[in-house]
Amino acid sequence: MEIVIADKVYICTKSMKRECKMLLRRMAAFSNPDFYKKAVMGLSTKGIRESYSAVMMRLAISVFREPLLESIVDRFQEADIQITLTDHRLLEMH
């Protein structure tokens, strides 16, 4: 499994099964706090209950939240999936 870190984290889905793609999508989901604030106040909750920090692309899943990377790598390692990690971020010199 190829993972590239650049402006976002990109996970190649070229040979990935649908179930694995859906697992990644669930891992990238987080609760929408506005939905729950409105629900507590009795206001209309015609919003989205969950938000996603990922975008499904044709050959990759783009994850916005880099802290999610560690969880993804752990899941792949638990499943004995070999990972190739490439870091394309620029190193800033101060």
What does the pLDDT read at residue 91?
60
The pLDDT of residue 26 is 83
3-state class (DSSP) for residue 75: helix
Who wins on pLDDT, 38 or 47? 38
Instruction: List all residues 6 or more positions away from 17 whose beta carbon is below 8 Å from its beta carbon.
Output: none
Could you tell me whether strands 2-5 and 9-12 are parallel, antiparallel, or unpaired per DSSP bridges? antiparallel
pLDDT bin (cut points 50, 70, 90) of residue 50 is low
pLDDT higher than 60, residue 17: yes
* Tokens linked to 31: 């609760």
The CA distance from 45 to 66, in Å, is 29
Q: Is the dihedral of CA 65, 67, 69, 75 positive or negative?
A: negative
